[in-house]
């Protein structure tokens, strides 16, 4: 880092370098903050006159990814579960598999195999396979639990990076950070794009990430809409093809399918030298899970009027359960910490400009 600070050639690529230059020495919290500002675009790695095989062996993206992976487990709660970050894809696979088995066994035990394999038509059919209470209460509990873990994580991050509580009441900074996050500004790499998957510049990673990001948001909107329909308007799923939940969900699902497969393809082809094993592992686990969620969702939509519906519903819900249970203990954490880092950056930059 002192080498970067003495060189500064990469200043125009992203927020990490300007933030770094405001410091002469780095506390551990500073490093965690910088690591979470890093978007792993790798522009600086290929531009670096000191990257390996130079004896200085500078590899900023790898170092940042290591620190990031450390920070995810360190700030997570309870600390006993932070091990889930270590072999993330294994953990994710086991938890999702377990959800599948448990849901299947419960459905078979309490509802019976006839219902599971029958053809259902009309309103409220999903609840015939999985009762209303079972479909609403556990997800709520899981979601609330995830929220608690992330709030704790965000507070820990904020403290470690030297922030105080009063900083948080800075709407301008939040607005700036939100713009940067929604536009994926820094994935533009100063206009050049990422050096991803190899040393050539490309915007493909940014576009695929956009598809995942907005696909996820659309699916989230679809689910929220469905919840409103169900709980407040009394309309029960499944909804018609031209209803808001189905339209939003389908568009989002297709976006997710393309986005996640694109990102997985880029990761598969990507240069391993600037990569970090744990991070890559987390990336893949999360992407695969998102891919499966939208795939099973879309297949369920297509075949909901057939006898396969029951089985597909169980599979889809199991994948969704796996996704949300592991949400606080995987790559999704980057949403929280990166956003917090962007807010911190916006505050810091404004303070330097005004001083």
Partner 1 sequence: MVDLSAPFDVLVVGGGNAGLCAAITARRAGARVLVLESAIKDFRGGNSRHTRDIRYMHRAATDFVTGAYTAQEFWEDLRQVTGGETNEHLARLTIQNSEELGDWMPANGVRWQKPLRGTLHLAKSNLFMLGGGKAMMNAYYETASKLGVETAYESEVSELKIRDGEFVSALAFCNGASCEVNAKAIVVAAGGFEANIPWLKEYWGDAADNFIIRGTKHNQGRMLKELLRHGGKPVGDPRGCHAVALDARAPKFDGGIVTRLDSVPFGIVVNKNVKRFYDEGEDFWPKRYAIWGKLIAQQPDQIAYSIVDAKALPHFMPSVFPPVEARSIAELASSLDLDPQALTAAVDELNRAAQPGTFDPGSLDSCRTEGLHPPKSHWARPIDTPPYYGYPLRPGITFTYLGVTVDEQARVIMQDGRPAKNIFAAGEVMAGNILGKGYLAGFGLTIGSVFGRIAGRGAASRAAA
Binding region for partner 1 (CB under 8 A): 2-3, 5-13, 18, 21, 24, 43-44, 46-56, 190-192, 199-200
CB of 50 to partner 1, least distance (A): 7
CB of 36 to partner 1, least distance (A): 22
Classified as helix, coil or strand, 41 is coil
Q: How far apart are CA 159 and CA 182, in angstroms?
A: 25
Q: Which is nearer to partner 1, 18 or 274 (CB)?
A: 18
Q: Which is nearer to partner 1, 50 or 235 (CB)?
A: 50
Q: Which is nearer to partner 1, 192 or 254 (CB)?
A: 192
Q: State how far the alpha carbon of 63 is from the alpha carbons of 36, 72, 184, 249, in Å.
A: 11, 14, 21, 38
CB of 19 to partner 1, least distance (A): 12
Q: Are 262 and 208 in contact (CB under 8 A)?
A: yes
Q: How far apart are CA 123 and CA 232, in angstroms?
A: 16
Extended strands (E) in 231-286? none
Q: Are 15 and 70 in contact (CB under 8 A)?
A: no
CB of 52 to partner 1, least distance (A): 8
Q: Which is nearer to partner 1, 14 or 35 (CB)?
A: 14
φ, ψ of residue 59 to 5 degrees: the values are -145, 80
Q: State how far the alpha carbon of 4 is from the alpha carbons of 60, 249, 304, in Å.
A: 9, 45, 56
CB of 51 to partner 1, least distance (A): 8
Q: Would you say how long the chain is, in residues?
A: 355
CB of 162 to partner 1, least distance (A): 20
Q: Which is nearer to partner 1, 206 or 331 (CB)?
A: 206
Q: Which is nearer to partner 1, 43 or 283 (CB)?
A: 43
168: Cα within 13 Å, side-chain hemisphere:
9
């Amino acid at each position: 880092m002192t080498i970067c600070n003495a060189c500064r050639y990469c200043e125009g690529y992203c927020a990490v370098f300007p933030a770094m230059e405001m410091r002469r020495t780095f506390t551990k919290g500073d490093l965690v903050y910088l690591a979470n500002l890093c978007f792993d675009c790798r522009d600086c790695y290929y531009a670096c006159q000191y990257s390996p095989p130079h004896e200085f062996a500078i590899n900023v993206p790898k170092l940042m990814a290591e620190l990031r992976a450390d920070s995810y487990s360190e700030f997570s709660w309870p600390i006993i579960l932070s091990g889930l970050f270590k072999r993330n894809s294994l953990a994710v696979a086991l938890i999702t598999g377990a959800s599948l088995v448990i849901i299947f066994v419960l459905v078979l035990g309490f509802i019976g195999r006839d219902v599971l394999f029958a053809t259902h038509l009309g309103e409220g059919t999903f609840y015939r396979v999985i009762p209303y209470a079972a479909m609403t209460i556990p997800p709520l509990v899981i979601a609330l639990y995830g929220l608690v873990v992330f709030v704790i994580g965000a507070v820990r991050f904020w403290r470690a990076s030297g922030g105080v509580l009063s900083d948080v009441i800075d709407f301008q900074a939040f607005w700036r950070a939100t713009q940067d996050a929604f536009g994926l500004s820094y994935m533009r790499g100063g206009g050049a794009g990422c050096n991803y998957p190899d040393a050539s510049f490309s915007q493909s990673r940014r576009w695929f990430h956009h598809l995942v990001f907005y696909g996820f948001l659309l699916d989230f909107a679809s689910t929220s809409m469905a919840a409103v329909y169900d709980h407040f308007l009394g309309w029960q799923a499944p909804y018609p093809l031209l209803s808001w939940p189905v339209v939003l969900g389908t568009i989002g699902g297709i976006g997710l399918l393309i986005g996640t497969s694109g990102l997985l393809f880029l990761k598969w082809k990507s240069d391993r030298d600037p990569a970090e094993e744990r991070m890559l592992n987390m990336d893949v686990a999360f992407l695969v899970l998102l891919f499966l969620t939208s795939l099973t969702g879309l297949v369920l939509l297509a075949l909901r009027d057939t006898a396969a519906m029951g089985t597909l519903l169980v599979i889809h819900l199991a994948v969704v359960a796996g996704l949300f249970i592991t949400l606080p203990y995987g790559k999704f954490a980057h949403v929280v910490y990166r956003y917090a880092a962007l807010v911190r950056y916006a505050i810091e930059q404004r303070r330097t400009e005004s001083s």
